[in-house]
Structure 1
Amino acid sequence: MKERNLPYSLQTFAIGMEDSPDLKAARKVANHIGSEHHEVMFDAEEGIQAVDEVIFSLETYDITTVRASVGMYLVSKYIRKKTDSVVIFSGEGSDELTQGYIYFHKAPSSEEAAEDSERLLRELYMFDVLRADRTTAAHGLELRVPFLDHRFTAYYLSLPPELRIPKNGVEKYLLREAFESSDLIPKDILWRPKEAFSDGLTSIKKSWFNILQDHIEHQVLLSQSLFLEMM
């Protein structure tokens, strides 16, 4: 493990199912920066069992938000029970601010991409920020989101729209390029293609999306059968 002269103790946390891409990437970063690293493993049954608690905490039935919140809920639960960490950092807002979603590659113009980026930021409180705030608060944790610091967002949005769009087939290009000359994180992680949180944390054998879809379809069929029996 590479040692760094840091003025503070550094902890990192990652969650995923067996052979998840996010776990492997997080492990590589942790080794690179020399952090005290915690990996939280969960299986399909544990994820499904957490869904009701997640919906209760979120107070929303938004499908994508619920699906993406399970991992964050479980890792927050682990942090609260197994460590003395109370204040944690997370990367919410970077995709919305720095145009990290894949569809930004197809924006008709840099101006329209900038407009949609600002729309996403305005709506964050209903989705990713809601997820991050509620899943961590449910376990008594305080969340910090550096990418949404008002000074940073104001500066980034003041840049010309043509500088903020994906470039060379890479989303969040400007943000990544800013760290290219540093040794803060491994280069292959710095330029890693975008992967949705709920996809990256699950097994490459069967995605969390498909696991939940199969479970819900089974529940629907079961309910239909019970209803027919009562008729």
Structure 2
Amino acid sequence: MSGIVAAHGPFDPALGDRMLSRLAHRGPHGVGSTQVGDAWLGSRYLSITDPRHGGQPIASGSAHMVGDGEIYNHNRIRARLADVHYDSDSDFEAALALFDAIGPAAFDQLWGTYALVMAADDGRFAVGRDVLGIAPLYWARRGDTTLFASEMKAFDADWRPLVAPFPPGHVWTPDDGLVDSGAEPAEVPVLLQSRAPEEEPPAWVFDAVRETLVRAVERRLDAEPEVGVLLSGGVDSSIVTAIAARRARENGTRLKTFAVGMEGSADLAAARAMSEFAGTDHYEEIYTADDAIALVPDVIASLESFDPTLVHSAVPNHLVSQLASRHVSIVLVGEGADELFAGYSHYGRYESGVALHEELLATIAGMHIGGLQRVDRVAAANGMETRLPFLDLDVVELALALPPGWKLTTPEREAKWLLRRAFDGWVPGEVLWRPKEQFGQGTGMNDVLRRHFGATVSDDELARDARELEPPIRTREELAYYRLFTESLPGVNAQTTVGRFVEA
């Protein structure tokens, strides 16, 4: 996790310095910048793969780079470019060496979660973002100048009306403009197409789901600093905990897990049960309604969204990240499982696997301005890096290749039954088959915030102001959050930058 700022074209470095100062929370290890021809690159960086030598901007040959995220296949890149001299073990240095060797085509060979800006002394310049949009990136263009930054708050006021999310899975160069990398996960299921939805999957399907996710978790445990888990008490984070705790025991250590909730919340009870079952060092924090209400303005400013669904989950997410940051600098989270295996309650209305699959694809495409934004911003506000094993591309491709009819919710099959079955015995039964609750619901957050902030806006005010956005602002609570958003990010066009969950 780092904060990046970059520009191509006429640019005042003082603007870059101001933008970096607004991203200081993303990079506790240092700040750096450099001019490369018509490009300016700056970073507030958090070094994970090589904490001693992973500062930014980095250089390789004639090329320079700033980036956020992680490149998982960097060792294979190093082996392929064996004649290159490397100054560090940084994963980004390997990616930069590849760019210096083959130019923007390097993005086609990168596997990971990243937002990268690369510039060379000979004028080459390229920006790329991972296919799921896990690493954040925004851009704005005016005249001959194009600006890039990790968060909207980085931009000066006069630039904010021009800011838009940089599209995931794309590369931009001054010569070719915006180009789709073509790396999207397969849109059409390809495995076991002859099987009827009600048929029992063969045993190897459960084995494949389990083994692929185990490898994804183990890859994300590869870090010099200690890695913990945000254990919400739901099935997704419990599965991640089970895998990570097993690896910790094999290494002679104990995994650290973290949970928060209001007194008596269901999430806290489930997290305790999972921690005891897995043998983790468990940390928890109980907060009050007043604690949560007081946090909302700061959470919305960090979150850069006013969608009530995100706000409800971002408040406890902020509290658990704050708790975890006192003990670790990297955490694993369970984000992505609901989108891949149809865990949300509104997916239960589908009776056709084809229709459900289309909805899952649409949800995944919007995650970068939804759940992924919450995960990133809340962790960044607390100086931490999050890693998301369910969104490992191997896991994504396998999940999307399976017959979507197996993901339908029926009287005989609960939501996410396929994933749950794959981890039977890894998680206590009362947690494994616990009904899905939104993070804010399980922690007791939704009702508290809805009542309080809804009461700050009248029905007449909602009727008057609802049409400021399309679709219209739906509730008094959402209008209250929208006002806090506009106060914290004046000038940002909410219509084009904020994802909103609007159930059809």
State the TM-score bracket (shorter-chain normalisation).
0.7 to 0.9
Match of 1:197 among 439, 442, 465: 439
Structure 1 residue 16: Cα displacement: 0.2
Verify: 1:44 aligned to 2:267, yes or no: no
Structure 1 residue 169: Cα displacement: 4.1
Deviates more, 1:20-29 or 1:54-63: 54-63
**Aligned residue in 1 for 2:353:** 110
**Aligned residue in 2 for 1:171:** 415
**Aligned residue in 2 for 1:88:** 331
Structure 1 residue 101: Cα displacement: 1.1
Structure 1 residue 217: Cα displacement: 3.7
Within 5 Å, which residues of 2 pair with 1:133-152?
133-152=376-395
Structure 1 residue 31: Cα displacement: 0.2
Cα distance in 1 between the residues matched to 2:455 and 2:356: 40
Cα distance in 2 between the residues matched to 1:35 and 1:188: 18
Cα distance in 1 between the residues matched to 2:427 and 2:454: 41
Cα distance in 1 between the residues matched to 2:319 and 2:448: 17
Match of 2:447 among 179, 201, 210: 210
Counterpart secondary structure, 2:457: helix
CA contact (8 A) 2:254 2:279 kept: no
Q: Is there any run of 5+ residues in structure 2 with no aligned partner, and where?
A: 1-244, 462-504
Amino acid at match of 1:148: L
Cα distance in 1 between the residues matched to 2:403 and 2:451: 45
Aligned-pair RMSD on alpha carbons? Answer: 1.7
Cα distance in 1 between the residues matched to 2:430 and 2:455: 40
CA contact (8 A) 2:342 2:360 kept: yes
Counterpart secondary structure, 1:195: coil
Structure 1 residue 220: Cα displacement: 3.0
* Greater share of strand: 2
Verify: 1:79 aligned to 2:324, yes or no: yes
Cα distance in 2 between the residues matched to 1:68 and 1:191: 21
1:42–1:161: structure 2 CA closer, same or farther, 3 Å change rule? same
Structure 1 residue 103: Cα displacement: 2.3
Deviates more, 1:157-166 or 1:128-137: 157-166
Structure 1 residue 216: Cα displacement: 1.8
CA contact (8 A) 2:258 2:323 kept: no
Structure 1 residue 54: Cα displacement: 0.6
CA contact (8 A) 1:14 1:38 kept: yes
CA contact (8 A) 1:16 1:201 kept: yes
CA contact (8 A) 1:165 1:173 kept: no
What's the CA shift string for 1:1-36, capped at 9, x where partnerless? xx9743243011111000000000000000000000
Amino acid at match of 1:75: V
Counterpart secondary structure, 2:283: strand
**Aligned residue in 2 for 1:30:** 275
Cα distance in 1 between the residues matched to 2:365 and 2:255: 32
TM-score by length of 1: 0.86
What's the CA shift string for 1:164-214, capped at 9, x where partnerless? 32342400011011112xx32101211111111100011xxxxx2222222
CA contact (8 A) 1:105 1:169 kept: no
Counterpart secondary structure, 1:41: strand
Superposition misfits of 4+ residues, deviation over 4 angstroms:
none
**Aligned residue in 2 for 1:227:** none
Deviates more, 1:156-165 or 1:69-78: 156-165
**Aligned residue in 1 for 2:313:** 68
Counterpart secondary structure, 1:219: coil
Which of structures 1 and 2 has the bigger CA Rg?
A: 2
**Aligned residue in 2 for 1:159:** 402
- Percent sequence identity is 36
Verify: 1:187 aligned to 2:434, yes or no: no
How many aligned residue pairs are there? Answer: 211
Amino acid at match of 2:321: S
Structure 1 residue 160: Cα displacement: 1.5
**Aligned residue in 2 for 1:228:** none
Cα distance in 2 between the residues matched to 1:147 and 1:198: 20
